[in-house]
Chains A and B, each alone.
Chain A
């Protein structure tokens, strides 16, 4: 209690509770958030903690993972899928390889397509915008199982896609059965059948570097095209919402500055869409790393394990092979990958201030309050034909 004298008087409990109108707010707040918090804990936190425990235990799938005969085995399960040279390791490596190619293709494609569709249906010139919006969004609300079945039907060796290719004189591959990686296929077309020794000799996670570079298989292309088709509609919706929020004045101002349509899109619209772009890329990244239902209903990893994904591998390891520890370990590694990539993406897309050099070049100087203002008002005034746009707009804002 000797230290009590040092304590600042503000920390006295009497002062915290004693201010009239706010009394009891804390308790009420907690009460109102309790249902949501409890639901989150029971259905999210507890299962995650259980899964984390399973991933470091020897639980075999019978009874509670917390019962006394389940032992802590450290990182053994993680070790089995990341080292040791066994089938578990090479399966995990293959699954990561497949999913990496899937992400690399799906995320940029679906984002670009969504943005394109959103710009199209957002333009005032288009007639029947409502129809197109519905049409583009439709695949997103259709059952993914139904679309998977349909997609595999389209890509069957005698299906519509190959019939279409035949019109152009191209003999299409046997899509669902062709395990050849696209890049390997291209290399084989120019006569390179086997990779150089430094690629085939060494590898990572039981998969040689040459195989890491195989590219998605033709079977995987089915899933990739399907993902782009179904999800770009959802993300189009996000982009439309963002586009409609943009103020027309900025666009008009850019027009007055004599920008071309493409310049306006690239330099004016796109930077303003940055938050939405981040959302779309993050959602896309998370969704593509967790791809499961298309594999489960469509290909089950075939052809030649080239559509095996970590999420499906985790399901298989658990429910089919009863290797629950390994299944949970795969899930947590996947989780780590997603978090790491999201953080990386956040870093890349962070809000960057325009560099001082660039600001100066554009005729701005730092004011006393740290904000930039036009260095030479007369230039701006002259350019806008006598009306002080910069000045008045700034005035409005304050």
Chain B
């Protein structure tokens, strides 16, 4: 009895203490979070930009040292000319670090944003929709501006973009007795050259089994998963079915293989290792070929036209500015500088991205005359869906495209249609 009484008391007191500590901790946490309303986040509303003398943080998802160094030097240049301090930070997991920033109320001021994820952040109100205040806003490719328009507002400035083109291994091309005149410009020609290039060890064409490559054929057939403004699902269109049927046909007859079938991580690896005579990748392949497979000779040509004419997919990133940034005015100036023709060409020289402004297109072609197919494809390129939540749908579709060879195309596209339509609701 004697022993039991103090013990219950201790237990009670500990519980009380835990509760008090909990309340303390909660209030402490509460003050740690900046209330977005209080900190003057002008989310979406044009005009009133926050302004202060606080330094800027730039968070980038870098492809490597070359890119980090180039962005650092460009930002440092801007910093010294404008007098506003700015630091560049390369993220190890961009989405995760962005999310943490937004949740804590102290996000990076300027950051990379993928076209496929930007709508998720725009939907939660974390982004400043500043597009219409850019001085150079008419210089951007209109299709890129459409990509970064959320809820009717041009949200963030396109940073750069990439398009898909066809890469051909010239050695294998010559060995198969093909000449420049044989470069495929239609689906039928693509099929016939790929068949000629296919040997027991080499597949004519190897691509990854994802919408991000096969979607180009949907565009060439006149379709895509969603309409250009990503407001309506068009996945189950006849054009998409035609495109996938063409791919399926290629897989069945063996001149088209998926990277997973040859054990490669991506098209560039299969192409570099000589498992593929042709592949379909974006301009990032040029850097990889140079560093990993410098001995492989290849050329880049635009993708062949489909039943509805020329087409390809484009991928892009933008410079996001946080709605909670205390110095949006300076951030906007920085973005204008970073997307200027001069800065973008400097980036192009350093690590190869294609400028998002039309005025820099000729400059890019001068730097990379062999790869002009990529930038020429901008005229007929279409974007990937940007509706909030599309990532899951595309992942789901990709998981099924892996077995496209035997899949029922109607049900595959039907599921995608159902899931994309659900995003609108």
Contacts and interface: CB of A to CB of B under 8 A. Distances in A.
Nearest to B400: A304
A30 interface: yes
A86 B419 contact: yes
Contact of A34 (B17, B37, B258, B389): B17
B103 A62 contact: yes
A26 B9 contact: yes
Contacts of A63: 33-36, 102-103, 105, 324
A177 B400 contact: no
Given A30-B14, A177-B402, A322-B123, A157 B30 contact: no
B22 A41 contact: yes
Contacts of B369: none
A62 B125 contact: yes
A46 B19 CA distance: 10
Contacts of B126: 61-62
Contacts, number: 140
A202 interface: no
A391 to B, nearest CB: 36
Nearest to A67: B35
Interface stretch (B287-295, B372-380, B390-398): B390-398
Contacts of A66: 26, 29-30, 33
B17 A46 contact: no
B100 to A, nearest CB: 9
Contact of B33 (A67, A305, A316): A67
Given A61-B126, A303-B399, A46 B29 contact: yes
Contacts of B179: none
B47 interface: no
A174 B263 contact: yes
B175 interface: no
B6 A91 contact: no
Contacts of A348: none
A272 B20 CA distance: 44
B422 interface: yes
Given A16-B6, A301-B395, A305-B396, A10 B1 contact: yes
B402 A303 contact: yes
B21 A37 contact: yes
Given A26-B13, A63-B35, A176 B260 contact: yes
A322 B121 contact: yes
Nearest to A318: B99
A179 B403 CA distance: 9
A45 interface: yes
Nearest to A322: B120
A64 B30 contact: yes
B399 A305 contact: yes
Contact of B263 (A91, A157, A304): A157
B37 A46 contact: no
A38 interface: yes
B103 A303 contact: no
A94 to B, nearest CB: 9
A42 interface: yes
B181 interface: no
Nearest to A34: B17
B21 A177 contact: no
Nearest to B28: A42
A303 B422 contact: no
Contacts of A16: 5-6, 9
Interface of B: 1-2, 5-6, 9-10, 13-14, 17-18, 21-22, 25-26, 29-30, 33-37, 93, 95-96, 99, 102-103, 105, 117, 120-121, 123-126, 258, 260-263, 323-324, 388-389, 391-393, 395-396, 399-400, 402-403, 419, 422
22 contacts: A16-B6, A19-B2, A30-B10, A41-B25, A42-B21, A42-B25, A45-B18, A46-B26, A50-B29, A61-B99, A61-B102, A61-B121, A62-B102, A62-B124, A63-B103, A87-B419, A174-B261, A177-B402, A179-B402, A303-B399, A322-B99, A322-B388
Interface of A: 10, 16, 19, 22, 25-26, 29-30, 33-34, 37-38, 41-42, 45-46, 49-50, 60-67, 69, 86-88, 91, 156-158, 174, 176-177, 179, 301-305, 316, 318-323
Given A46-B25, A60-B124, A316-B392, 14 more contacts: A26-B10, A45-B18, A49-B22, A61-B102, A61-B103, A63-B35, A63-B105, A66-B29, A87-B422, A88-B392, A157-B263, A177-B261, A177-B402, A319-B95
Across the A-B interface, give the 6 residue pairs with the lowest CB-CB distance, nearest first. A64-B33, A177-B260, A60-B124, A157-B263, A63-B36, A322-B120
